[in-house]
Structure formats: C-alpha cells, structure tokens
A = this chain, B = another copy of it.
C-alpha cells in the first residue's frame, strides 16, 4: 500500500462486506478461495476485489487465490476490529436502548460502557446492565474513563451541543443518529445513520421509472 495514501470511502464502505463474507467462508471451513469464486458470491467483479484489496497489500497468489483466514484477519485489522471500542450512549430512549441491547456490536468489540440522559424517568436506571447517568455529568465521565465513540440518539435541537460537549471532552468518534449535520473539528470522525433518508431513497427507487419518464416542468 502506498504510504499515507487515503482510501476512497467507496472502498472503505465495501470492507465490512468483505469481512462478513470472509467470516462466513471461515464458518464453512473454506480456507482458500479464488477472486472469481469470491466475486460470484459477493456479486462484484474479480478485478474490483483485487483492486480493493491491493489498497492494503498483496493478499492473492496467481493460481492459488486468497488464503481466507489470513485475508479475514487482515481485513479485521484494517477495519480496526482487533481491539475493543468503548461506546457511550447519549439519549437512553427506546432507540438508544435498542442499540445498547444489540449483541452484534459487542461481538465485534464495540462495547457500551455507560448511557446518559436528561430525563429523571431513566436516570439511575440500568439498560442491559449499563448505568444511565445524568447527562450533566458526561464531561466528568469522559475525563475519567476511556471512551472511543459516542452514540448520539438525542432530539435534533440538542444534538449539535451534545456533540460539541463530548468531542471537546476528548471523544474522537461520533455515531450520529439524528438527521442534523454536525459541525465538528476536522479530526473528529462522524458516522451518520439516517433512517428517514434511507426510506426516502427507497421511495425514490420505487418511483424511479415513473420519475425518469415524466418530463420535469421548468418551474420558472
């Protein structure tokens, strides 16, 4: 891999998918696979696979294919999944509580260590074994505990302030479930999950043919 060369977000977005497929192969005791076989399983071209993986080094061998276990471990390392990440939940409502209860995250090394809310109804309670604290104490918690990621499940009008608070306190990764775009320093990593946008994309695709057929009127 060329030192310091940025990987395109398109490639990065595909890596978790490689990771899943390679994990499935290992579960089936398939220890070696050609880029052709892998491409057929994943529905992307073999050359695409070679290009993607070459960003990170040379994993394939002519006539042998890929060593599934080594490639799995390498993608795992590339994705930073060979370590544990501590996550705090901000906003312990229904949605936030579902996140904390999702065992898939823990299995991948993403562990919720605390939750915060401003509602007396939930402060002091526990969700899936983690404590829900008063959000007023969040800065203090972050200063005393190692936290990698803050999952923000708060109302739109509160999300920018809380994002600033947790990142000012030292958190580098923000998992944003609000629709708002966050204004944060360059060195902060933000991953947005926007379910309503996802639905809108779905409705667009459902109507696409009709939309593309119809002539759009000039609104002027």
- A residues whose Cβ falls under 8 Å from a Cβ of B: 1, 3-7, 12-13, 15-17, 19-20, 42-43, 56-59, 61, 67, 70-71, 74, 77-81, 85, 94-95, 97-99, 101-102, 104-105, 108, 110, 148-149, 172-173, 175, 179, 181, 189, 191, 193-208, 211-213, 215-220
Query: Cβ of B3 and Cβ of A213 under 8 Å apart?
Result: yes
Residues of B within 8 A of A202 (CB): 149, 173, 175, 189, 191
Residues of B within 8 A of A74 (CB): 216, 219
Number of copies: 2
Query: Cβ of A200 and Cβ of B108 under 8 Å apart?
Result: yes
A34, chain B: closest CB distance, angstroms: 15
Residues of B within 8 A of A6 (CB): 208, 212
Query: Cβ of A173 and Cβ of B101 under 8 Å apart?
Result: no
Residues of B within 8 A of A173 (CB): 202-203, 205-206
Given contacts A148-B206, A193-B198, contact A217 B57 (CB under 8 A): yes
Task: Give the docked Cα–Cα distance between A104 and B20 (Å).
Answer: 31
A41, chain B: closest CB distance, angstroms: 9
The listed residue with most B CB atoms (<10 A of its CB), out of A20, A59, A71, A102, is A20
Given contacts A80-B207, A200-B79, contact A102 B195 (CB under 8 A): yes
A-B contact pairs, 8 of them (CB 8 A): A1-B212, A6-B212, A70-B219, A95-B102, A98-B98, A175-B199, A191-B199, A193-B193
A152, chain B: closest CB distance, angstroms: 12
Query: Cβ of B105 and Cβ of A203 under 8 Å apart?
Result: no
